[in-house]
Structure 1
C-alpha cells in the first residue's frame, strides 16, 4: 500500500480538451473520511536545455495567456500519443528554435504541480547545436522570439521575473552547475 493513499470511489470527467482533461474524483482518505479532488490530466511534456558552443542557453520568449504576459522559457512541448520523449524533444527543439542537436541527453523527469495535475516534464540537455534544414517551424497559433543568453543574463531574468516558470528556473540552475563543472 502507498503511504497516505487516497482510493478513488468515483470519478467524473468534466472536460476533455486538446491539451488537458479535467475530472473530479471522490476519494476515501486514510482516516476513513471522504473528500473531493479536482484533477487535471496532461499527457506530459519535454523541456530542452539547449547550450551553444559559446555556452549560451537557447531560449524563446512567448505570450502565456494564463498569466497575461510574455515569458522567457527554455524550448518545451507536449508529448504526442505514442511518441517517445526523446523524439518529442528533438522535434520541439527544431520547431521552436530552428536548431537540431548532435547529442541529446535525458537529465531528469519531474512533476510540475502534483497537488492538482499529473503532468510530468522530461528534461533534456542538447549540445552540438546546428541550424536545422527547415529552420524554426512553429505551430500556426504559436509566436516566439528566439534568443541566446548567458547564465548571468538568465539569472537576471529570473530576478526580474521575465523567467517565471519553474522548469526554466530549474534548468538555469542545472546548466550553471553543468557549465561550471566543465570549466
Structure 2
C-alpha cells in the first residue's frame, strides 16, 4: 500500500544506529520525526525474509512439524518454513526448505500470499506457499536441526487452532486460507 495517501501518518528517519548485528537478524535503533514534528525512537529487527509452506498430501492431510522454539521454551506444531538466503528466489527457498525439513518434493508449489507477522518491531516478511503432488524422499535437515514430521487432517488442525493449541501465526494463516480456498 502506498504512503502517498497517508502523508499525515508518516514518520521520517533522522538517524539510524545498528545496535546488534547477528547471524539471523539485526537490530536497529532509529530516531524519527513524527507527523506532529516531535521526535521519538523506533527499535526494530531487520530480517532477511522467509518462506513457509503448507504441504498437502494427495489424501488431503497436511505435512506439519513439531519443533522446539527456544524464545518461548516449548514445542510448537507448525508448517515447514525457513529463511531466504541472500539472492535466493523465494520459490527456490520453498522447494529447498520443504525437502530439507520434511523429505518431500513438490510437483506444484502455489504462492498464497505475503504476510508480515510482527509489523510493530520487525521487517520480516514471509512468503506463503501450498505444496501439492508430494513425493517422499530423504530429509536433509540442517546441522543441529531437530524436528518431527507429523501428518494432520485439516479439520484436526482447525480444531487445534480454535482450542488455542496451535498459535503459530504462519500456520494459522495458511490453514484458514486453505479453508476458504478449498471451500
TM-score (norm 2): 0.93
Q: Which runs of 5+ in 2 are unaligned?
A: none
CA apart distance, 1:163 = 1.7
- Corresponding pairs, count: 178
Q: TM-score, normalised by structure 1?
A: 0.93
> What residue number does 1:92 align with?
97
Q: Which residue of 2 aligns with 1:179?
A: 182
- RMSD in angstroms over aligned alpha carbons? 1.2
- Trace 1:22-61 onto structure 2 (pairs within 5 A): 22-61=27-66
Q: Which residue of 1 aligns with 2:157?
A: 154
Structure-1 separation of matches of 2:10 and 2:180: 36
CA–CA separation in structure 2 for the residues paired with 1:177 and 1:58: 19
What is the CA distance between 1:107 and its match in structure 2?
Answer: 1.2
Instruction: Check the 8 A contact 1:55/1:179 in 2, yes or no.
Output: no
CA displacement at 1:160 relative to structure 2: 4.1
**How far does the alpha carbon of each residue in 1:32-77 deviate from its partner, in whole angstroms, 9 at most, with x for none?**
0000001100000000011000001110000001111000000000
Partner of 1:63: 68
Distance across 2 between alignment mates of 1:80 and 1:22: 18
